[in-house]
Chain A
């Protein structure tokens, strides 16, 4: 039984007449790394907010279907309780700094204080979260003085300290430089290794291909496909959905190189290498 189930989810923002989410159903296993892709306004953020319960408990509007995490129906749980089940990380790290705390350490405590976690337990959880995100060395720094990548990792630490089973990250690196982006991806992968389910929206398809177990492709509020990155990026109609496959896949398509057992094109550097080596022997002259 999957840990996260979405059943016929439909949603319309108040005052609009188009479904932002149109009959979405999917199941996600515990500990999976799920990428969400699709053009702008395709409903990626809306889907994230529906999983986090912000839809329909923060944004009102017409809502149908169900989002279940284990046997909790998110719609029925107030947002401030649900945050111990599903955590949310937003795009702009700066906006996630509470502005009420003087150090990184205190900043991470913010959610725990609100949840009434006892002090000793709080300290244990903060230390663990800082360690996981590799920010222990910034413990006593002023939150606003961190770099974008560090700040975003602090935000993630504040979320995972609340021990959610699922973490949703909506374009968490779009405001970061390449180094910050890599730091965040490494950190998120580490969390996934801890058994936390990851749901991540990202425009960089190389990153999606590198890190995701499965990818959800959205268009106009509809779930077009939900499958492995290889299957998704091998689709011939991909461009129709405003998505450009990773550069390795494009090379594969151009040269008609597929992975033997799946018939899909390669999506990462590693896969591209394997395919090319097989084709050209151990010394492919045209590499």
Chain B
């Protein structure tokens, strides 16, 4: 099964609760530390996300995503650690490169924010079937056309890439250069891309017609084969999280006034 989706069904509660609840979690995880303006709030939420991911049996799948962003994070740490404008107190030196306490501290703040955002999104993305999420939106009055576009790209793009490589292979087997120097490859590129564009135009038309004759533009009220993904607890989650966000804002205001 080739899709871009990162979702895997591990059969845990996290797979069963409503996607909206998890979206609220993402919103809360991002806004609460921002509202409170304290670093420990971010750290607590990273811990919560990690616990959720562990519970959802997808913590391992988070690691490669963190590793990809790790490179960017490392760059932030190095640049800010060495060159931040407020740097005063040397912390340590790696050969000629001196890292300063203030810059490293500043970078850590950024790191915590980014990791927090990434991990809370992982809670949503790794445990939610995209089509379930979209279906729930459509049930709430969201446009089915938009929902379709959103979902189908996950499936159709990998399939199109495959078609593309099939065509590339076919061209190569007819003796066309798809490797070699830049000039050779550019020359090879034009006759290669033409059939790809042609076939995708024809395919797009046929796909549009095929959707049309299956009532895609019907104005009737849609029904759903699958039951709505939700649990009894979702109502409370969807009340508790907004309340927590408001509480964080209130806390911040009282801090100001005090």
**A, B co-complexed:** yes
The reply to whether A100 and B148 contact each other, CB–CB distance below 8 Å, is yes
Interface residues of B in 152-183 (CB under 8 A from A): 152, 155-156, 159
Measured between alpha carbons, how far is A95 from B206 in the docked complex, in Å?
6
Q: Which B residues touch A106, using CB under 8 A?
A: 225-226
Taking CB as reference atom, which chain A residue is nearest B148?
A100
| Cα A220 to Cα B157 with chains together (Å) | 38
- Contacts of A68-116 to chain B: CB distance below 8 A: 79-81, 83-84, 87-88, 90-92, 94-96, 98-102, 105-106, 109-116
A52 within 8 A of B: yes
* B197 close to A (CB within 8 Å): no
Is A109 touching B215 in the complex (CB atoms < 8 A)? no
Q: Which of B129, B209, B215, B216 has the most CB of A within 10 A?
A: B215
B156 cross-chain contacts in A, Cβ below 8 A: 99
Q: How far is the CA of A1 from the CA of B203 in the complex (A)?
A: 38
For A102, list chain B residues within 8 Å (CB). Answer: 129, 131
B231 at the interface (CB under 8 A from A): no
Q: Which residues of A contact B215 (CB under 8 A)?
A: 80-81, 83-84, 111, 114-115, 162
Asked whether A87 lies within 8 Å of B213 as measured between CB atoms, the reply is: yes
Complex interface: chain A residues within 8 A of B151 (CB): 99-100
- Is B203 in contact with A95, judged by CB distance below 8 angstroms? yes
The stretch that binds B, out of A118-126, A210-218, A229-237, A252-260, is A118-126
Within the complex, what minimum Cβ distance (angstroms) separates A10 from chain B?
22
Give the nearest-CB partner of B224 in chain A. Answer: A113
Of A90, A100, A109, A123, the residue contacting B155 (CB under 8 A) is A100
Kindly list chain B residues whose C-beta atoms are within 8 Å of the C-beta of A87: 213
* Complex contacts, A115 vs chain B, CB 8 Å: 215, 218, 220
Q: Is B60 an interface residue (CB 8 A)?
A: no
Option from A95, A96, A100 in Cβ contact (under 8 Å) with B131: A100
Cross-interface CB contact of B214 among A54, A83, A94, cutoff 8 Å: A83
Query: Does B217 interact with chain A (Cβ within 8 Å)?
Result: yes
What are the residues of chain B within 8 A of A79 when measuring CB–CB? 212-213, 217
Contact with A along B202-246 (1 / 0, CB 8 A): 010011011111111111111111100000000000000000000
**Which residue in chain B gives the minimum CB-CB distance to A155?**
B210
Contacts of A144 in B (CB 8 A): 1-2, 155, 159
Chain A residue, CB-CB nearest to B216: A114
Note all chain A residues with C-beta closer than 8 A to B219: 80
Chain A interface residue count, Cβ-Cβ cutoff 8 angstroms: 44
Report B8 CB to chain A, min CB distance, Å: 12
CB–CB A96/B210 < 8 A: yes
Residues from chain A with Cβ under 8 Å of B214 in the complex: 83, 98, 110-111, 114, 158-159, 162
Cα distance A189–B198 in the bound complex, in angstroms: 34
Contact check, A122 vs B223: say whether CB atoms are below 8 A apart: yes
B212 in contact with A90 (CB, 8 Å): no
Give Cα distance in the complex from A159 to B210, angstroms: 10
Are A145 and B131 in contact (CB-based, < 8 A)?
no
B225 touches A123 (CB 8 A): yes
Cβ–Cβ contact A80 & B212, under 8 A:
yes
Tell me if A159 and B213 are in contact (CB < 8 A): yes
Option from B129, B152, B213 in Cβ contact (under 8 Å) with A83: B213
Would A113 and B225 be within 8 Å (CB), given that A80-B215, A83-B215, A102-B129 are in contact? yes
A99 touches B152 (CB 8 A): yes
B220 touches A90 (CB 8 A): no
Residues from chain B with Cβ under 8 Å of A119 in the complex: 223-225
Beyond A100-B151, A102-B131, A142-B1, is A113–B209 a contact (Cβ under 8 Å)? no
User: Complex Cα distance A87/B222, Å?
Assistant: 19
**Contact of A54 with B209 at beta-carbon distance under 8 Å, contacts A83-B215, A162-B215 already known:** yes
B78-96 interface with A by 8 A CB criterion = none
The residues in A between 115 and 142 inclusive whose CB is less than 8 angstroms from any CB of B are 115-119, 122-123, 126, 142
Q: Which residues of B contact A158 (CB under 8 A)?
A: 214
Residues of A within 8 A of B211 (CB): 98
**18 A-B interface contacts by CB (under 8 A):** A54-B209, A54-B212, A80-B218, A80-B219, A83-B215, A90-B210, A91-B206, A94-B159, A95-B210, A99-B151, A99-B152, A113-B223, A113-B224, A142-B1, A144-B2, A144-B155, A145-B1, A159-B214
Other A-B contacts than A95-B207, A100-B151, A119-B225, 4 sampled, CB-CB below 8 A, are A58-B212, A81-B218, A96-B206, A113-B223
